[in-house]
Amino acid sequence: MTDSTTPIRFVTGNPHKVDEVRAALDRPIEQVTFDYPEIQADTIEAVAEAGAREAYNHLGGDHPLIVEDSGLRIDALGGFPGPYSSYIEGTLGIERVWHLTEREDDRTASFVSVIAYIADDDVITFTGRVTGTIVAPRGRAGFGYDPIFEVDGRTLAERTTAEKNELSHRGQAIASFATWLDDQSR
Amino acid sequence: MTDSTTPIRFVTGNPHKVDEVRAALDRPIEQVTFDYPEIQADTIEAVAEAGAREAYNHLGGDHPLIVEDSGLRIDALGGFPGPYSSYIEGTLGIERVWHLTEREDDRTASFVSVIAYIADDDVITFTGRVTGTIVAPRGRAGFGYDPIFEVDGRTLAERTTAEKNELSHRGQAIASFATWLDDQSR
């Protein structure tokens, strides 16, 4: 068991994600850059869980830690591209992902973010989700799949960063982790 | 260094692959079923290499071992589905892979098989490749991507197993491994 002053390690190369977690949590957060291998699995949850175990074993289990993994799931395509979102973006590209989805009646998709927390060998995952629709690319802001992901009539690439953050799948995952952590220390 | 009577472990759940290797090699082959985690990587070679190291570390490095990994690479799609061939087959399905490729001028693809051999911490990989063309599904034999992969006017699903084996990407990888192994013991 760890008390509420023990720092939580966040294994990530991305300082913006660390800021986001720091702002939401009442606990010291220590960024650790360690490039843990991501396994092949059918779900983003499974990839994050294995990553957390890998990092925990490698770094030594004296501090609890979190990892975050995210991706796009298209319902009619069995959750594709899911855990392989970044590989698919780099090989097929988002235009082809649109053409694949264009043939389907149901174009519902979700952006999913998973935080996996490990302490004392137990892993718990927290999932955030934003639901939208796959459309032909529109807009110039953002990155990745933003131009083909529409929520309430606008793609994520047609929003400012602040507007996009209000919809954040990652923000939701962080918030549910923060609530759980807070309950633990009562 | 191992001599030519030391068994080589083949980490696989598939006894047919073991038979294929036994038939080609002048060395005792011992099948080991261990479900090593496959990492996410851009190439089939990298996945096989990491799998060989993982299995070697797990099983104890007293016997040399091999793993085999294979997949389909579509040239115009940046090597997609590559290391994720089986995930993509299960989520998108081969009909959608055909529709994706149908939009491209160049429909060249390869079936690739990689054998990764590890002994004394060094990994060597051997690659076999069959080049063909992606077409609309035809034929009922075989499995996986066979119905959309055409060589010399017929898809792999329009061939008998014996005819298909003559084209085998795995057979080529095994043959180049056998040649190398033979050279080592001279």
**pTM score:** 0.81
**Choosing among A54, A92, A102, which should be mutated to test the B contact, i.e. which has the most B CBs within 10 A?**
A92
Low-confidence winner among A29-38, A45-54, B80-89 (lowest mean pLDDT): A29-38
Instruction: Show Cβ contacts of residue A70 under 8 Å, excluding neighbours closer than 6 positions.
Output: A44, A85, A111, A112, A113, A114, A169, A170
**Taking CB atoms and an 8 Å cutoff, what residues of chain B touch A46?**
none
B136 to chain A, closest Cα gap in Å: 16
Instruction: Show Cβ contacts of residue B165 under 8 Å, excluding neighbours closer than 6 positions.
Output: B171
Residue pointed to by tokens 């509420």: A4
Residue in chain A lying closest to B42 (CA): A87
Go through the domains of chain A in sequence order and give each one's CATH number: 8-184 (3.90.950.10)
Query: Under DSSP, is residue B121 helix (H, G, I), strand (E, B) or coil?
Result: coil
Confidence of residue A1 (pLDDT cuts 50, 70, 90): very low
Q: Count the Cβ atoms, other than its own, within 10 Å of residue B15.
A: 11
* ipTM score assigned to the predicted complex: 0.74
How many distinct helices (H) and strands (E) make up chain A? Answer: 6, 7
b/e burial code for range A115-137 (CB count within 10 A of at least 16 → b)? bbbbbeeebebbbbebebbbbeb
What's the rounded Cα separation, in Å, for the pair A27 and A117? 14
Average pLDDT over residues B24-28: 89
Q: How far is CA B162 from the centre of its chain?
A: 18
CB of B72 within 8 A of CB of B109? yes
Element (H, E) at A126: strand A122-134
Q: Which of the residues B69, B106, B122, B146 is marked catalytic?
A: B69
CB of A92 within 8 A of CB of B92? no
Q: Which conformational region is residue A78 in: left (phi greater than 0), alpha (psi within -120 to 50 degrees), or beta? A: left
What's the rounded Cα separation, in Å, for the pair A11 and A115? 11
**If interface means Cβ-Cβ distance under 8 Å, which residues of chain B face chain A?**
37-40, 42, 47, 50, 77-80, 82-84, 87-88, 90-92, 96, 99-100, 103
Of A103 and A185, more confident: A103
Q: Which residues pair with A118 in a beta bridge?
A: A65, A123
Chains A, B: CB pairs < 8 Å: 63
Q: Residue A96: which of B50, B87, B100 has the nearest Cβ?
A: B100
- For A146-168, write each residue's pLDDT tens digit: 999 999 999 999 998 888 878 88
Q: Check A39 against B42: CB less than 8 A apart.
A: no
- Amino acid A2: pLDDT: 55
